A and B are shown apart, each in its own frame.
Chain A
Amino acid sequence: MAETDDRPLKSDTLHLDDFSVKQQPNHQTVPKYYGEALLAAARVDTSILALTADLTAPTETDLVRDHLPDQFVMAGIAEANMVGVGAGLARAGFIPFVHSFSVFLSRRSFDQIAMQIAYPKTNVKLVGFMPGIDSLLGVSHQAIDDIALMRALPNMTILEPASPADYEDAVAAALAHEGPVYLRLYRATAPATPLNDVPPLQAGRIRCLHHGNDAAIFATGLMVEQALLAAEDLKTQSINASVIDCASIKPLDVEGILDVISQSKIIVTAENHTVIGGLGSAIAEIMAGNNIARPFFRIGVQDCFAEGGSRSFLFGKYGLSAKDIAAAIKQGLAS
């Protein structure tokens, strides 16, 4: 059928070659931003270890495996055990970076993370790839609730960089904080452009990527790109929106966020995650706690499970596109 033929045969986001023996030649054209950052850090600090649960290439830890084999630990397909082993290694003085897909790391090892990492504040860095609904692999592989789970844990820091260009700073920020950190990352499919004129990503700081007083879009991870596209589109209609990168979901930059809100008529949050318990909830808590009322919209997965598909298809179907953000702002201004 013609309509079937129009659909993408391969996800624009899934690195299928990582699951096959033969690597595709074009793979080398996109840098492994996270893998390179971790490797560089591990060369400097030999107490850094990379642990992975049979997902070495998809978590870019093949670079540590190949260049610093003594600092690589294959844990097998056993995430709960890997988290416990990471906690033990941290107690012995190492700095374990524990890798899997976000969905497995958070759901399959939540109790282990709570008891062996968050409670005792062990210096373990949890690194989850394939965030939100950004996956062809389907509902089993989609982490739509990991931010909510990690936010609920005392002592946990959560960083979700907007761009792979920020991964080096994200690794540095994770190391600068002695204690549990959850890094929520996606893999670059094209060379990343560094953000101009903004300070480096830091825990507890927002960054304003675009200025405008009509509305403020608080976004994280992949949704920052959508927010910037929405702001550009709105500008052509004389609507000025701020785009705020909330890479540090916990701790939140409460003061900075209140400052932005005080200058904005409409507040929109955008996250590649359920709207329950994530960034949108966190911003709502700040507003309610400070007696601030504004038209308020949470862009994200609307309390449902999704299915496998390309990023553009899923973001369109589940209301996570730039168009959805722009529509929310226009609705707010019209009311």
Chain B
Amino acid sequence: MQTGNRRSLKELRDTATTIRKDVIRMVARHGQGYVQQGLGAADLFTYLYFQELRFDTANLNWADRDRFILSTAHNTAVYYATLARAGLLDPATLTEYCLDGSPLEINASERLGPLVECTCGSLGQGLSVAAGLAMGSQRQQRDANIYLMLGDGELEEGQVWEAAMFAATHKLSNLTMIIDLNYMQVEGDAREVAAIDPVDAKLENFGWQTIMIDGHDFDAMFASFAAARADTDRPSCIIANTIPGKGVSFLEGQKSHNMVLPENTADDALQWLEADHG
């Protein structure tokens, strides 16, 4: 269980590097996958599972746990790696990622067990379920928060805005949405596909507290998640600017939804991560 003690920046950075190496290895086995998104969100996942979320590794169904929903359900390399490093999943199973029969599917499903609080993958649905969980938690007067990670391209789904209105109407202040803002979707730059900007002003006008942060700055995460917890009147959204491929200099900023990762590139990336932080 997380104790609430503040971890050191070094501890968080080292954990994120370990997770990034896992992501490279997991995707490299298949030669292609969600490597850029995984590297980009590794710091957010590290912060969530090593600092923010309260859970019990001995009882995954603990009723008062904080709940996390990955609405961008395809970003599983970093998700499974984080769960494994946080003691929530056997690290040995990471080698089964995307293999036939494995519960570590490319889109996270409830076959993995109670850690997957709802099966997303069909985009736009996660926030509604998170809102239901948040409302339920409030009605039961539980001291538990509901977290949701959403991709920026997913903001194009109308249901997200239905849910955003609902959450504000019902003052679901125990709900925190993290938008992984990398402006990357299948078709290219999300801003060219749809006018998603300004995300903060849009959600602010929907009645949310919004906080823009650098999605690789742990200090900013400490402050923004604290602000989210402190608001007892509105749901909160932390809009985290992330860089696809973050942590491996020659991958940083390359926008590719399902990127090819040849063996030699993966080896170079692992070496880079070793050298930088080893």
Q: Is the CB of B122 within 8 A of A81?
A: no
Contact with B along A67-88 (1 / 0, CB 8 A): 0000001011010111111111
Cβ of A271 to closest chain B Cβ, rounded Å: 30
Cβ of B110 to closest chain A Cβ, rounded Å: 6
B residues in contact with A88, CB < 8 Å:
118, 128-136
Contact with A along B157-199 (1 / 0, CB 8 A): 0110011011001100000000000000000000000000000
Q: Is the CB of A83 within 8 A of B128?
A: yes
Whether A112 sits at the interface, judged by CB under 8 Å, is: yes
Most buried by A among B128, B134, B135: B128
Whether A119 sits at the interface, judged by CB under 8 Å, is: yes
B residues in contact with A93, CB < 8 Å:
136, 140
Contact with A along B128-151 (1 / 0, CB 8 A): 111111111101100000000000
Whether B241 sits at the interface, judged by CB under 8 Å, is: no
* Contact status of A81 and B118, CB under 8 A, knowing A88-B133, A89-B132: no
Q: How many of chain A's residues have a CB under 8 angstroms from any CB in B?
A: 26
Closest B residue to A78 by CB, please name it: B162
Whether A288 sits at the interface, judged by CB under 8 Å, is: no
Whether A115 sits at the interface, judged by CB under 8 Å, is: yes
Q: How far is the CA of A115 from the CA of B159 in the complex (A)?
A: 14
Whether A9 sits at the interface, judged by CB under 8 Å, is: no
Q: Is the CB of A84 within 8 A of B169?
A: no
Q: How far is the CA of A81 from the CA of B131 in the complex (A)?
A: 9
Q: Is the CB of B131 within 8 A of A85?
A: yes
Q: Total number of A-B contacts with CB less than 8 angstroms? A: 99
Cβ of B35 to closest chain A Cβ, rounded Å: 26
Cβ of B149 to closest chain A Cβ, rounded Å: 16
Q: How far is the CA of A85 from the CA of B135 in the complex (A)?
A: 8
Question: Out of A73, A76, A81, which one reaches B159, CB within 8 Å?
Answer: A81
Whether B263 sits at the interface, judged by CB under 8 Å, is: no
Q: How far is the CA of A92 from the CA of B159 in the complex (A)?
A: 21
Question: Out of B127, B136, B139, B169, which one reaches A76, CB within 8 Å?
Answer: B169
Binding site for A on B (CB under 8 A): 110, 117-122, 124-125, 127-137, 139-140, 158-159, 162-163, 165-166, 169-170
7 smallest CB-CB distances across A and B, nearest first, come from: A88-B132, A84-B128, A92-B136, A78-B162, A81-B162, A85-B132, A88-B133
A76-B166, A84-B127, A93-B136 known; 16 new pairs, CB 8 Å cut-off, are: A73-B135, A78-B159, A78-B162, A78-B165, A80-B158, A84-B131, A85-B128, A86-B132, A87-B128, A88-B135, A89-B136, A91-B117, A91-B133, A92-B140, A112-B128, A115-B119
